[in-house]
Structure 1
Amino acid sequence: MITYAIVDDEPIAHRIIEGYCVELTHLHKIGNAYNVFEASEIISKHQVDLIFLDINMPKMTGFEWLKMLTKPPKIIVTSAYKEFALEGYQLNIVDYLLKPFSFARFLKAVNKASIVNLDNGFKSVAISDNVKDNRLFLKGDKMYHQVQIDQILFVEAYGNYSKVCFEENSLVTHEKISGLENILPREQFLRVHKSFLVAKDKIEIIQGNQIVIGKYKIPIGQTFKAKVNSLLNK
Structure 2
Amino acid sequence: MITYCIIDDEPIAHRIIEGYCKELLHLQKIGNAYNPIEASVIVTRQKVDLIFLDLNMPKMTGFEWLKTLPKPPQIIVTTAHKEYALEGYELDVLDYLLKPFSFPRFLKAVNKVNASEQVSPAKSPGNPNLENGRFFLKGDKKYHQIHTDDILFIEAYGNYTKVFLTEEMIVSHEKISTLENLLPKESFLRIHKSFVVATDKIKRIQGNLIYLQDYKIPIGQTYKSKIHHLLGGK
Q: Could you state the TM-score of these two structures normalised by the residue count of structure 1?
A: 0.57
Root-mean-square deviation (CA), in Å?
Answer: 4.5
Distance 1:94 1:147 in 2: 29
Distance 2:109 2:124 in 1: 28
The alignment partner of 1:28 has SS state of strand
Distance 2:111 2:179 in 1: 23
Q: Please tell me whether residue 65 in structure 1 is matched to residue 65 in structure 2.
A: yes
Could you report, residue by residue, the CA deviation over 1:166-202 in whole angstroms, capped at 9, with x for unpaired residues?
Answer: 577654x6x9xxxx89x5339838688xxxx7543x3
Q: Please tell me whether residue 97 in structure 1 is matched to residue 93 in structure 2.
A: no
Shift of 1:103: 1.3
Residue matched to 1:19: 20
| Identity value in percent | 39
Structure 1 pair 36/147, CA: closer, same or farther in 2 (3 Å)?
farther
Structure 1 pair 230/105, CA: closer, same or farther in 2 (3 Å)?
farther
Residue matched to 2:177: 185
Q: 2:111 aligns with which of 107, 111, 134?
A: 107
Amino acid at match of 1:66: L
Shift of 1:31: 0.7
Q: Please tell me whether residue 204 in structure 1 is matched to residue 208 in structure 2.
A: no
* Contiguous gaps of at least 5 residues in structure 1: 116-123, 157-161
Aligned residues: 194
Structure 1 pair 130/225, CA: closer, same or farther in 2 (3 Å)?
same
Distance 1:146 1:130 in 2: 18
Answer yes or no: is the 8 Å Cα contact 1:203–1:211 preserved in 2. Answer: no
Distance 2:137 2:78 in 1: 21
Distance 2:138 2:96 in 1: 18
Larger radius of gyration: 2
Shift of 1:77: 2.4
Answer yes or no: is the 8 Å Cα contact 1:107–1:137 preserved in 2. Answer: no
Q: Please tell me whether residue 145 in structure 1 is matched to residue 146 in structure 2.
A: no
Answer yes or no: is the 8 Å Cα contact 1:6–1:14 preserved in 2. Answer: no
Could you report, residue by residue, the CA deviation over 1:135-186 in whole angstroms, capped at 9, with x for unpaired residues?
Answer: 9865x4xxx3356899665468xxxxx9754577654x6x9xxxx89x5339
Structure 1 pair 69/105, CA: closer, same or farther in 2 (3 Å)?
closer
Residue matched to 1:84: 84
Amino acid at match of 2:177: P
Answer yes or no: is the 8 Å Cα contact 2:191–2:220 preserved in 1. Answer: no
Could you report, residue by residue, the CA deviation over 1:89-118 in whole angstroms, capped at 9, with x for unpaired residues?
Answer: 44x43423232334123211x12xx55xxx
Amino acid at match of 2:200: E
Q: Please tell me whether residue 219 in structure 1 is matched to residue 218 in structure 2.
A: no
Answer yes or no: is the 8 Å Cα contact 2:153–2:196 preserved in 1. Answer: yes
Q: Please tell me whether residue 130 in structure 1 is matched to residue 122 in structure 2.
A: no
Structure 1 pair 135/64, CA: closer, same or farther in 2 (3 Å)?
farther
Structure 1 pair 75/230, CA: closer, same or farther in 2 (3 Å)?
same
* Contiguous gaps of at least 5 residues in structure 2: 128-134, 156-160, 181-188
Residue matched to 1:34: 34
